[in-house]
């Protein structure tokens, strides 16, 4: 993606207290943060709500962002803490656990009735994974991050990210084989 | 163990779907809310600016507190107990005491249980006891080295005087 702003450009805008930093942050990180939040919550709707809340927090706490050594890791840590605080809210706890709605849609080349059905089945299978494995799959497959980048973002080693990914794929394969019988 | 081809097949099924990013409407709404938060005056928290100093101060306070605690728990119990003033002043507290070494001979453990008056009373009793010993002269044993009879000695010199501490304990 040629139009993705660099981290240095974002840091410069933050240092100058320029509100344009918000647009730059959005362009660079909104997609991966959204996928991460969806992976943590297992819900597309909640992930989008949290993303909005996250950017409001970013605007309020921009002085902390300036001092961050690794901006991406800091943003993911903010997202993680936000998801935890959402999970602790009484209204959230009282809600019944909804079946996972990750918002997966068929790729344009597979946009058929069968494709939609497969996307729904895949979303259910992903919803059954533990959040730490689900987030790795979403970031790797749908945001094309490397294991190195995932490890940096989630504060884990690349090997841990890779092993979570392999475990997740193994479970998905089993689930798909079971559902196809 | 899953084979690479199995995992690749699962991966291919995952790639047959997409996870859409935030919609333009959601992006506009989010950025508007974030810009509104940005324009609100945010005073840099005082704690953040002073954080390095506060951290050092807290570390120093913890070190001092640990030192004081270690002193109370480990060092102070091993330190010799100071002799109470009543003991060091025993000699001067005894009226007419001719024995200057009386005070230092008193054990602190005994002195803590007895006051100076009690010690003085026991001292007087002991003196009276010594006075009652008959001043008879007893023959000294023959000195084989010199072949002479040594001069007779008063019985008092050989009188087995009980240590004061025994009398006090009794």
pLDDT in tens, chain A (181 residues): 447 888 888 988 988 888 899 999 999 999 999 999 999 988 888 899 999 999 999 999 888 888 888 899 999 999 999 999 888 876 665 555 555 688 888 888 766 767 788 888 888 889 889 999 999 999 999 999 999 999 999 999 999 999 999 999 999 988 877 766 5
Residue B105 and residue B88: Cα distance in Å, rounded? 10
Nearest chain A residue to B42 by CA: give it: A60
Residue A55 and residue A24: Cα distance in Å, rounded? 12
Q: Which of residues 44-63 of B touch A (CB under 8 A)?
A: 44, 48
Question: Are the Cβ atoms of A107 and B19 closer than 8 angstroms?
Answer: no
Nearest chain B residue to A17 by CA: give it: B38
Which residues of chain A are within 8 Å of residue B29 when distances are taken between CB atoms? 52
How large is the ipTM? 0.82
Residue B154 and residue B83: Cα distance in Å, rounded? 38
Residue A139 near residue A31 (C-beta atoms within 8 A): no
Using 50, 70 and 90 to split pLDDT, how confident is the model at B155?
Answer: low
Using 50, 70 and 90 to split pLDDT, how confident is the model at B93?
Answer: very low
Of A26, A56, A63, nearest to B37 by CB-CB distance is A56
Cβ-proximal residues to A128 (8 Å cutoff; 6+ apart), any chain = A100, A171, A175
Is residue A106 within 8 angstroms of chain B, CB to CB? yes
Dihedral over Cα of B49, B53, B55, B61: its sign:
negative
Question: Are the Cβ atoms of B18 and A105 closer than 8 angstroms?
Answer: yes
Dihedral over Cα of B84, B85, B89, B94: its sign:
negative
Is residue A155 within 8 angstroms of chain B, CB to CB? no
Q: How far is A159 from chain B (nearest CA, A)?
A: 17
Is residue B27 within 8 angstroms of chain A, CB to CB? yes
Whole-number pLDDT of residue B30: 93
Question: Are the Cβ atoms of A138 and B19 closer than 8 angstroms?
Answer: yes
What value does the mean pLDDT take over residues B98-116? Answer: 52
Residue A73 near residue A153 (C-beta atoms within 8 A): yes
Residue A39 and residue A44: Cα distance in Å, rounded? 9
Question: Are the Cβ atoms of A176 and B13 closer than 8 angstroms?
Answer: yes
Closest by CA to A173, choosing from B2, B57, B32, is: B2
* Size of the A and B interface in Cβ pairs below 8 Å: 106
B137 by Cβ neighbours in 10 Å (0-12 / 13-18 / 19+) ranks as: exposed
Is residue B30 within 8 angstroms of chain A, CB to CB? yes
Is residue A166 within 8 angstroms of chain B, CB to CB? yes
φ and ψ at B17, to 5 degrees? -120, 165
Please give the model's pTM, rounded to 2 decimal places.
Answer: 0.61
Nearest chain A residue to B1 by CA: give it: A170
Q: How far is A24 from chain B (nearest CA, A)?
A: 11
Using 50, 70 and 90 to split pLDDT, how confident is the model at B114?
Answer: low
Is residue A38 within 8 angstroms of chain B, CB to CB? yes
Closest by CA to A11, choosing from A65, A79, A75, is: A65
Is residue A127 within 8 angstroms of chain B, CB to CB? no
Q: What residue ranges in chain A does DSSP mark as E strands? A: 105-106
The pLDDT of residue B6 is above 70: yes
> Could you give the 3-state DSSP secondary structure of residue B138?
strand
Q: Select the highest-mean-pLDDT range: A115-129, A145-159, B121-135, B140-154.
A: A145-159
Using 50, 70 and 90 to split pLDDT, how confident is the model at B161?
Answer: low
The pLDDT of residue B154 is above 90: no
Using 50, 70 and 90 to split pLDDT, how confident is the model at B103?
Answer: very low
Is residue B2 within 8 angstroms of chain A, CB to CB? yes
Residue-wise burial string across A50-88, b where 16 or more C-beta atoms lie within 10 A, e elsewhere? bbbbbbbbbbebbeebeeeeebbebbbebbbebbeebee
Of A105, A122, A137, nearest to B20 by CB-CB distance is A105
Whole-number pLDDT of residue B138: 58
């Amino acid at each position: 993606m040629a139009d993705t702003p660099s981290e240095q450009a974002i840091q410069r805008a933050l240092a100058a207290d320029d509100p344009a930093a918000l647009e730059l942050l959005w362009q660079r990180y909104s997609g991966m943060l959204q996928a991460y939040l969806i992976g943590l919550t297992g819900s597309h709707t909640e992930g989008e709500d949290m993303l909005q809340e996250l950017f409001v927090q970013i605007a309020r706490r921009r002085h902390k962002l300036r001092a961050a050594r690794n901006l991406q890791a800091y943003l993911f840590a903010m997202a993680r803490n936000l998801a935890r605080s959402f999970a602790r809210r009484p209204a959230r706890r009282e809600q019944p656990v909804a079946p996972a709605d990750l918002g997966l849609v068929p790729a344009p080349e597979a946009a058929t009735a069968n494709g939609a059905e497969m996307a729904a089945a895949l979303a259910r299978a992903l919803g059954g994974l533990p959040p730490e494995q689900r987030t790795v799959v979403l970031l790797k497959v749908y945001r094309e991050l490397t294991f190195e980048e995932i490890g940096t973002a989630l504060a884990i080693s690349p090997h841990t990210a890779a092993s979570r990914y392999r475990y997740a794929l193994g479970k998905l394969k089993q689930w798909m084989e079971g559902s196809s019988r | 163990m899953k084979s690479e081809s199995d995992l690749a097949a699962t991966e291919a099924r995952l790639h047959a779907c997409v996870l859409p990013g935030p919609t333009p409407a959601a992006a506009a709404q989010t950025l508007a809310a974030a810009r509104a938060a940005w324009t609100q005056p945010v005073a840099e928290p005082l704690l953040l600016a002073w954080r390095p100093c506060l951290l050092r101060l807290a570390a120093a306070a913890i070190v001092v507190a640990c030192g004081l605690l270690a002193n109370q728990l480990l060092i102070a119990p091993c330190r010799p107990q100071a002799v109470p003033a009543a003991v060091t002043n025993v000699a001067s507290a005894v009226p007419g005491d001719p024995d200057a070494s009386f005070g230092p001979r008193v054990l602190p453990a005994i002195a803590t249980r007895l006051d100076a008056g009690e010690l003085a009373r026991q001292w007087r009793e002991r003196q009276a006891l010594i006075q009652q010993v008959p001043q008879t002269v007893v023959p000294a044993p023959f000195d084989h080295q010199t072949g002479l009879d040594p001069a007779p000695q008063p019985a008092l010199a050989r009188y087995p005087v009980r240590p004061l501490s025994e009398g006090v304990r009794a």
